[in-house]
Structures are given as C-alpha cells and as structure tokens.
Amino acid sequence: MPSGRYVCNDKIHPAVTQARRLTAVEYQNAISDLFDGRLTPSTNYPGSAGKSVTGFSTEAVLNDIGTGGAEQLMFAAEDVALQLPAALAQMTPCATSAPNESCVNTFLDVYGTRAYRRLLSAAERTELLDEYRAGVASGASFTESMAMLVDHLLQMPQFLYVAEGAAGTGRPLNGYELASRLSFMLTDSIPDDALLAAAPSLTDPATLTAQATRLLASTKANTTIARFFREWTGTTQVAPADKNQVAFPFFDAAYAQSMNQSFDRFVVDQVRSQGTLRTLLRSTDAFVDSTMASFFGVTAPPQGQWAKVSLDGQRYSGVVTQPAMMASLAHESETSFVFRGRFIRKHLLCENLGTPPADAQSIFGSLPLPPNPTGKDISAVVVARPECSGCHALMNPAGLAFEQFDAVGRYRTSYSSGKTIDPSGVLPSVGARPGVAAHDLSFADQTSMMEQLTNEPLVADCLATQVFRFTFSRMETPADACAIQAIGDALTASGGTLSQAIMAMTTTDAFTHRSDL
C-alpha cells in the first residue's frame, strides 16, 4: 500500500455478498412497484429483528425469519392476493376478454418477471401455472385461481430473497443480478421495467452507469437516500411518544412529522444539489414548513409549503444538527452526550469502541452527581471510573459539544437549571492512520469541532465505508479496501459530490462481481 493507497488495478476485486430476505421497507416498495400501486402491501410481512452491526437494516441476519415468520409471510401473501380480483382486469386485460392459460402466461410475462427480477425459467413458469391450474381444478374462478397463483408467487424465495448464484472465487454478475443490486441499492425495491429491459446490457459499464444515474435521479431514490442517512446517523422517525410530554408539550405528531420531513429533505437535497462531504457536515441549510420555521425562528413559507433556509452558522452545522438527528440522539427529557459522542467516534470516524460492560447502567445509577449537574459534570464523574473511561473519554467530549441542542433539537445556551452550557472541549486521539499519528482536536463549540472533523481524511474514508456497508449489508473486510478507496476518492476529489461517491460504488469490481470466499 504505497503512499497509504491500495493497489487495485492488479486484478478483479469481487465482494462477498449474502442472500438476504427483503426488509419490510423493501417489501412494501416491491409490492407497490410489482403491481403498479394497484395492490397494497400487507402489514403482516415480518420485519427485522436483532441489533444491526453496521447500523443498516438490510443485514442478512436481521432479516432471517424466526418462529412464526413463515406463517407471517403466508398471511402477507394472502393479504395481497385477496386484493387481486378487484384489480386483475386493469392489470391484465385478457383476464376479462380471454381468461385462459394464455392470459396467465401474459400475466407471468409481466408480473412474474418483475417479482423474480429476471425471466422465469420454464420450470418456474410451470410451477406457477400449476398453482393456477390447481385453483381451477378446485372449482375456483379464473380470477380466484390467479389470486392463488399470486399467493404462491409472493411466498417464493425468488421474490423474498435478494440472492445471487454461487460464485466460487469470483465471477462477474449477469445483467439481471446487476439490475437487482442497482435497484435495491438505489430504490429499496425491485427493478422497474426499464431496468429489466436494459438488464441484458448491464454488463456494459456505460449502460450500467446510465441506469444508475437514472435511478439515482428518480424520486423513488429519495426514500432510499433518506434511509441511508437515517441509518448511518441513527436518526429515527421521531414521534411524540419518544419525548416527555411535560417537558415538550408542543411535540405532537404534526410537529414530529415536520421534523422528520425536514431531515429527509435536507439529506436528499445534499445528494440532489451536488452536495459534498463538506456541505453535508457544515451546511447551514435547513428545510422548513411553518412548524419548522417557528422551531428555528425564521420566516415561514406559505402554509403547506416547504422552503430551504439558511441558519446561523455559529449554531448549526450540517446533518448533525438537524433537529431530528439531535432529537434521536437524546433521551426523553434530557440530551445524551453519550449517544451523540458515540455517533462521532463510531459512525463518523468509524472507530471500533467495543461494547459497554453489562453493568454499565447500574454503575451509572450509582455515580455521585452534584445537584443540577451539567453534561460536563456528569461526564467527569463517568470518565473518572476506570472501567468507563476507555470509551467515554473518547466519546463524551464530542457529545458534549452538542449540549446546546436539547432533547428535541432546539438550540439553547443554558440548562433549565440556569447553568450556562459550555460546548468547548478537546476531542482526543483523532485521525490515526497507517503512517499518521493520532492527534487531539481542540474546539470552542460544535461548529468548530465539525469544521475540523470535516477536514479529517478519516471522515471521508468512513463515509465511503458507510456507503459500502449500506450497499453490501455487512461490515467491510480487508478484501473490500479497493471499493472503499474508490468511493472515498470520488468523495474527496476536487468537486467530488455525494452523488458521485454513490455512483462510484456502482462501478467498482465489488459491485459488478461477487465471490463466495
């Protein structure tokens, strides 16, 4: 690795992928796209379970079905199939004019191909036809028999799993496999018809890039972009139940919805408007409706509309100070310098902090705290404990920098006790890389801390790593270094944008090839 860079043009560098079941979000999108919005996804579809290692919801192990999962999948398929009779005539006109096996094949040509994300094999087509035939044999009508076919289709692994054929030590993906990768990465859904039509040519890099560009530009990509940033930053869909209604009586459902939308609009805009790593972390932009305008104390747009505004650069700094993120990284009533600091160290710098001791909560509960403690008071007591200091000495200073944002993300300068908030600090041991020693960052407040972090090469590397984890639904290994390096290069190139970094992912060997090893 001369000059700290990996040699990547020596050979193909494929990536390992795992078969994984569609997440609940992907399922919702897939059902909607599969049937052109005519059938509503079922809420019975089993969601994810467990704690994500990467932070991203697509991890394979999170989506393994458990006891009862197969039954839930069956119920979900039935829920959708039950809607088919009312929509079938619109979906497949021959259902009315010529309800026969030829019509079933016509249906499969469209909807079977969409569901399986590729052309059906003869055996697969026969299997699905047999479901229809069994329905007819049982006395069911054509429409009912088609619903039975759909019931079966939606329980098949070809639909439920994102899975690619075995690859041994490595092989290029075929066009349909690339179409699925691209579609799920950029739209959290199955390929649309244009992508499926282009699939046979997707092994051509220019075609692949053209389709990736098209998908990324589509509105369908917005929710996927938002999901990436939400899962990376730990920003949940905040809700009134998350917050103490005595402390924050104004934080109702409409308020939470505005806050959530504000976050999503900010991150989507970052990708859509040629945002860079710098703007992502240092922009003073915010998106406001009347509620969020009041929140920020700026002029409100006309009722029902949203506007991009510029906030005070002495207070706000990019995605991190978006209210939804600050509210998510907080408790019901109080802030959490631990949550916020952990984001900086673990997800912005990609440091491995390990796991807290099992009795961390009881230790914390037993700590002697002064009356009306400030964040720094509490942190000092925690860090003084040897069993806590290893991680908290790293995390807490970063989190304390955001103490000026309360538990719902409002800017403030003092605690409710009247004590002034001191956001200054020193972030220790930052930036260690091969050949580069770690150093400390001194900052006056969170904006100066974020400014210095934006300039840290490790932050670009980490964001590139997050894009990789998001795409492959797993932690990286040394074998993935070239792909991450390519994304990082796109991010740090002169004029490099977030969208270019995403596009760079799709041209790596890791994206176009896979291996089992």
Partner 1 sequence: MSQRIDRRRFLIGSAGSLLALPMLEALAPRTGFAQTAAPPKRLVVVFHPHGRVVGPGSNENWSPASATGPLPPVGTAPSGALAALAPISNEIVTLSNIDNIVRHTSGDADGHASPSATCMTCVVPNGGTARGPALDYVAGLRLRSSPAQRMAIVIPAQAAPFDNSVTENNVFLGPNGTPGNYQAIDPVQLISDLFASVQAGPPPPPPPTPTLIDRLTARRGSILDGVAAGFTSFRAGLNSADQARLDQHAQFIRDTELRYPAVPPTPSPAPLSCAPPSASSVPNYNWPDFRKGEHDDVFAQTQIETLVQALACDVTRTASLNFWPQYDPGFVTEFAPATSPYIAGNWHASIHGDGSPNDPSPGSLTKGFGFYAKYYTKLIQRLAAIRDVDGSRLLDNTLVVWVSDLGYGSAHYCYNYPVVLAGMKSAFPKGQGRHVVGQVNSLGDLYAQVLRMLGGSDTTFGSTGTLASAAGSTSINFMTQLGRPGLITKDTPLHFGPLDL
Q: Which SS3 state, helix, strand or coil, does residue 41 take?
A: coil
Min dist CB 202 to partner 1, Å, is 19
* Candidate residues 134, 136, 307, 309; the one interacting with partner 1 per rule CB under 8 A: 134
Name the residue nearer to partner 1 (CB basis): 139 or 354: 139
* Candidate residues 4, 37, 50, 66; the one interacting with partner 1 per rule CB under 8 A: 66
Name the residue nearer to partner 1 (CB basis): 90 or 416: 90
Asked whether position 165 contacts partner 1 by CB under 8 A, the answer is yes
Segment contacting partner 1 by CB under 8 A, of 12-20, 90-98, 243-251, 454-462: 12-20
Asked whether position 87 contacts partner 1 by CB under 8 A, the answer is no
User: How far are the Cα atoms of 45, 66, 77, 398 from residue 49, in angstroms, in the given order?
Assistant: 13, 9, 20, 30
CA distance 242 to 25: 22
* Candidate residues 12, 47, 69, 301; the one interacting with partner 1 per rule CB under 8 A: 69
Min dist CB 265 to partner 1, Å, is 37
Min dist CB 302 to partner 1, Å, is 47
Query: Which residues is 161 bridged to in the sheet?
Result: 21
Within 10 Å of residue 489's Cβ, how many Cβ atoms? Answer: 16
Asked whether position 157 contacts partner 1 by CB under 8 A, the answer is yes
Name the residue nearer to partner 1 (CB basis): 71 or 101: 71
Helix pair angle (498-506, 457-472), 10° resolution: 50
Asked whether position 120 contacts partner 1 by CB under 8 A, the answer is no
Residues 186, 166 contacting (CB under 8 angstroms): no
Nearest CA-CA partner of 509 in 10, 163, 49, 107:
10
Asked whether position 158 contacts partner 1 by CB under 8 A, the answer is yes
Q: Which SS3 state, helix, strand or coil, does residue 324 take?
A: helix
Q: What are phi and psi of 444, to 5 degrees?
A: -90, -30
Q: Which structure tokens are listed for 97? A: 């004019």
Using CB under 8 A as the binding criterion, the count of chain residues that bind partner 1 stands at 42
Binding mask 456-495 toward partner 1 (x if CB under 8 A, else -) reads ----------------------------------------
* Candidate residues 138, 372, 389, 416; the one interacting with partner 1 per rule CB under 8 A: 138
* Candidate residues 51, 122, 166, 437; the one interacting with partner 1 per rule CB under 8 A: 166
Residues 432, 394 contacting (CB under 8 angstroms): no
* Candidate residues 12, 89, 156, 239; the one interacting with partner 1 per rule CB under 8 A: 156
Residues 515, 477 contacting (CB under 8 angstroms): no
CA distance 2 to 288: 47
Question: What region does 244 belong to: left with phi over 0, alpha with psi -120 to 50, or beta?
Answer: beta
Name the residue nearer to partner 1 (CB basis): 165 or 313: 165
Nearest CA-CA partner of 397 in 337, 453, 322:
337
Segment contacting partner 1 by CB under 8 A, of 81-89, 94-102, 414-422, 448-456: 81-89
Min dist CB 214 to partner 1, Å, is 29
Q: Which structure tokens are listed for 293? A: 């305008």
Name the residue nearer to partner 1 (CB basis): 220 or 514: 514
Looking at 351-445, list the stretches that DSSP marks H as alpha helix, in order from N- to C-terminal side.
Answer: 360-365, 375-383, 386-400
Within 10 Å of residue 220's Cβ, how many Cβ atoms? Answer: 18
Q: Which residues bind partner 1 (CB under 8 A)?
A: 18-21, 60, 64-71, 74, 78, 81-82, 85, 123, 127, 131, 134-135, 137-140, 144, 147-148, 151-152, 155-158, 161, 163, 165-167, 516
